[in-house]
Chain A
Amino acid sequence: MAIKRTFLTLLSAAVLAGSFAVGSTTKAGAEEAHFIPLLVYRSGPYAPNGIPIANGFIDYFTLLNERDGGIDGVKVTWEECETKYNTKVGVECYEKLKNKGTAGAALINPYSTGITYQLIPRAPVDKIPILSMGYGQTAAADGRIFKWVFNAPTTYWSQASAFIKYVGQQEGGMGKLKGKKIALVYHNSAYGKEPIPTLEALSKKFGYDLKLLAVDHPGQEQKATWLQIRRYKPDWTFMWGWGVMNQVALKEAAAINYPMDKFIGVWWSGTESDVVPAGDDAVGYKAGTFHAPGANTQLHKDVYKYVYGRGKGAGEKSRVGEVLWNRGMLNALVSAEAIRTAMGKFGKKAMSGEQVRWGMENLNLSKSRLKEVGLAGFTPPIKVTCADHEGNGPVIIQQWTGKEWKFVSDWISPMREVVRPMIEAAAAKFGKENNMTPRANCM
């Protein structure tokens, strides 16, 4: 009985200590400061992807506070909420955090297509803009309907069209695509299905044959999928995967001797977590991206100096510069630049969601501005407008050498003439279904 009581006491103490530990990791304060809720997934099956993204975010905000004293003198605060990449939990996290900070949440980065879809109807009500960088609902690129949602610098549909352009270049011209076979292995979810309309439209335009192969969550077992690939013998295979699906796909592709340099993944299938576990089998595999890999910019040097040098890094120093750390960092940078743009209009104080929405819509990360923030050559300029919340950013193809990702193409502009009308049609359909009229004076 005494042992049981001691055990219970220890357990209670551990739970209490755990609660305090969680509380102490939060950075939201009472002083005048921008507040950014962070929906993270540091545990659960997608944690290997969620951890570097979250660390990239936090390291950049820490850098701003440590090096510059915040954004134009106003500190950045944040609070993490663990979603486990679960949509329901993500929405609860959003509700919990949206009113924190001196001016409420400046903006929200859901970091999940499922959570993004759930937050889209709430954004105009709560007046908190959503930045879903490289994920979420592609149609949100039409700012006339989706006033509160931004998916700059580029979208899944743009990426799919860039892939086809790349394949055309590799085959010796777009005319050579006729009669070619392309397979899409995709996560059987709203996210995985995103590129299908674009690839189908381009199939009609260029005459290639398209085979769609869905893989159910989580994608641990894919033998049937890759047997079908073996039989179909596609000239090129694209993958829209996530988590364990990517690693298994690479192993299965190698097992059927599929040429890795003809296998291209979406930017969520092109990270160190995807290729390192596959070992030598992953060498030669390609993936799309919208920013550079590695830690070779001035900004990375500053992160080492001001963040890790002062013992304030969110993760391991050696992981700064990994693909997903860089993506989290870039996402944080775009968020911060939108806040900075808003401060230019509304003054040097904590920005509200409504003000940051204006900042997002007037964001202009030019080549010279990218150089100023220490990211010269890291990503192409990003310019958002009232009508175009995507910015039609280009895509680049990177290849895994066995040790690192390397660019193997030039920056590829998406086929805007194909993608934009599709975006506008999808947005108009969404607007009609939700009784929304396009904003006037928004060209």
Chain B
Amino acid sequence: MEALQAVFVLPFLDMAGEPLFFLEVIIGGLLTGVNYSLVALGFVLIFKASGVFNFSQGIMVLFAALTLVGLMERGVPVWLALVLTVLAMIALAFIVERFMLRFLVNQDEIILFMATIGLAFLLEGVGEIAWGADVKELDIGIPDKSFEVGGILLNEFDLFAAATGTVLVVGLAVFFHKTPIGRALRAVADDHQAALSVGIPLKTIWVVVWSVAGIVALAAGISWGAKSGVQFSLSLIALKALPVLLIGGFTSVPGAIIGGLIIGVGEKIAEIYWGPLVGGAIENWFAYMLALAFLLFRPQGLFGERIIERV
């Protein structure tokens, strides 16, 4: 009876007993969720363009942040370092298309997936050789003071990161849903050869998408790297994007946003109100459990495309 009460009653009484704190938990979850969305978005973009799960997305986040901070450490001004890093990510997209994707047109998805695993190791090695393995401070001048509003503590950097993430995500959602490139992208994802046969420039689409995914990776790298320092564990943040993708769907930009917010808020509430019952540290596996629960009812995710195949 006590156990049931601890699970089904006390956490809710706790929430009701301190509503301001509960609100702070939700806001904290939403702000974190936007950052998860940013990472998930990179996966979605490439999945939409090639129908493949890009294993190297986490490393791309790290690679972008390493390039940025590496340039800054060598005395390059922040704005110029940002521009150069964007150019580096675009160059990477060209290289990936020229030396990897071009040879894999119309191959099985598993082949493309394996290629992205290889790319992940390559980028990790190149990043380490070029910029070293030390933890690097990333400060691009965004203020990070905390302040209280009505008893709720907010942080300037978290708000800035969330705002940037939101603008980026909304902008991309519009771009890919309202422009010819967006339509071409969906066609490419459905069938490479069919897309080519109707004149869609497959190579250009891939370069565009990988470039945008690279820029999104840079935004995610700045957002996460400012807090943890830029180091190789930054690539592990990709693990946080997986449940977001499972919930939001692998092909939906809005799904990445909603999925991120659900995971962000859900894991914070679970950790704070139910975590102590089992010794804490449940947010990582809770996110996956939540995603699995969604899978039971919507295997394609909330906004993913339902795949119906004739057998």
Contacts and interface: CB of A to CB of B under 8 A. Distances in A.
Interface of A: 42-48, 51, 188, 212-216, 218, 220-221, 223-225, 227-228, 230-231, 243-244, 247-248, 251-252, 254-257, 273, 276-279, 281
Residue in A188, A225, A227, A231 whose Cβ sees the most chain B Cβ within 10 Å: A227
Contacts of B128: 43, 47
Contacts of A188: 280-281
A378 to B, nearest CB: 25
A227 B28 contact: yes
Contacts of B139: 279
Interface string B4-32: 00000000000000100100110011011
Residue in B133, B136, B153, B279 whose Cβ sees the most chain A Cβ within 10 Å: B133
A224 B267 CA distance: 8
A96 to B, nearest CB: 22
B102 to A, nearest CB: 12
B229 A47 contact: no
Contacts of B29: 223
A45 B236 contact: yes
A99 B177 CA distance: 63
Contact of A277 (B24, B137, B236, B271): B137
Given A45-B236, A214-B280, A224 B231 contact: no
A255 B31 CA distance: 14
A12 B229 CA distance: 36
Given A248-B227, A254-B146, 14 more contacts: A43-B133, A45-B231, A188-B280, A220-B234, A220-B236, A223-B28, A227-B21, A230-B153, A244-B231, A247-B135, A251-B144, A252-B227, A277-B137, A279-B137
Nearest to A277: B229
Given A255-B144, A277-B136, A220 B233 contact: yes
Contacts of A215: 281
Given A220-B228, A224-B268, A244 B233 contact: yes
B224 interface: yes
29 contacts: A43-B128, A44-B232, A45-B233, A45-B235, A48-B231, A188-B280, A214-B281, A216-B283, A216-B284, A220-B237, A221-B283, A224-B268, A224-B283, A225-B271, A227-B24, A228-B272, A230-B24, A231-B21, A247-B231, A248-B227, A251-B227, A254-B146, A255-B146, A255-B153, A255-B155, A277-B137, A277-B228, A278-B137, A281-B144
B309 interface: no
B299 interface: no
Contact of A48 (B135, B158, B237, B271): B135
Interface in B113-144: 128, 133-139, 144
A48 B128 CA distance: 11
8 nearest A-B pairs in the assembled complex, by CB-CB distance:
A277-B229, A214-B281, A45-B233, A224-B271, A47-B133, A214-B280, A188-B281, A244-B233
Contacts of A255: 144, 146, 153, 155, 158
B48 interface: no
Contacts of B233: 45-46, 218, 220, 243-244
A135 B231 CA distance: 24
Nearest to B36: A221
B228 A247 contact: yes
A414 to B, nearest CB: 26
B21 A244 contact: no
Interface of B: 18, 21, 24-25, 28-29, 31-32, 128, 133-139, 144, 146, 153, 155, 158, 224, 227-237, 240, 267-268, 271-272, 275, 279-281, 283-284
Contact of A248 (B21, B138, B228, B230): B228
Contacts of B234: 220, 244
B223 to A, nearest CB: 11
A227 B268 contact: yes
A257 B283 CA distance: 24
A212 B280 contact: yes
B275 to A, nearest CB: 7
Contact of A256 (B146, B224, B267): B146
A221 B281 contact: no
Contacts of A244: 135, 228-229, 231, 233-234
Nearest to A193: B279
B296 to A, nearest CB: 24
B21 to A, nearest CB: 6
A215 B133 CA distance: 24
Residue in A46, A244, A277, A279 whose Cβ sees the most chain B Cβ within 10 Å: A277
B283 to A, nearest CB: 6
Contact of B133 (A42, A220, A243, A281): A42
Contacts of B32: 221, 223
Contacts of A276: 135, 137, 229
A404 B235 CA distance: 29
B279 A214 contact: yes
Contacts of B18: 231
A48 B134 CA distance: 5
Nearest to B158: A255
Contacts of A228: 272
A51 B133 CA distance: 8
A42 B128 CA distance: 10
B37 to A, nearest CB: 14
B234 to A, nearest CB: 8
Nearest to B147: A257
Contacts of B268: 223-224, 227
A42 B232 CA distance: 11
B168 to A, nearest CB: 20
A279 B137 CA distance: 7
B134 A273 contact: yes
Contacts of A254: 146
Nearest to B103: A4
Contacts of B24: 227, 230
Nearest to B21: A231
Residue in A212, A215, A228 whose Cβ sees the most chain B Cβ within 10 Å: A228
Residue in B134, B139, B229, B280 whose Cβ sees the most chain A Cβ within 10 Å: B229
A317 to B, nearest CB: 15
Residue in B24, B32, B227, B275 whose Cβ sees the most chain A Cβ within 10 Å: B227
Contacts of B228: 220, 244, 247-248, 251, 277
A228 B282 CA distance: 14
Nearest to A192: B281
Contacts of B231: 45, 48, 244, 247, 277
B232 A47 contact: yes
A108 to B, nearest CB: 24
Nearest to B275: A224
A220 B281 contact: no
Contacts of A212: 279-280
Contacts of A281: 144
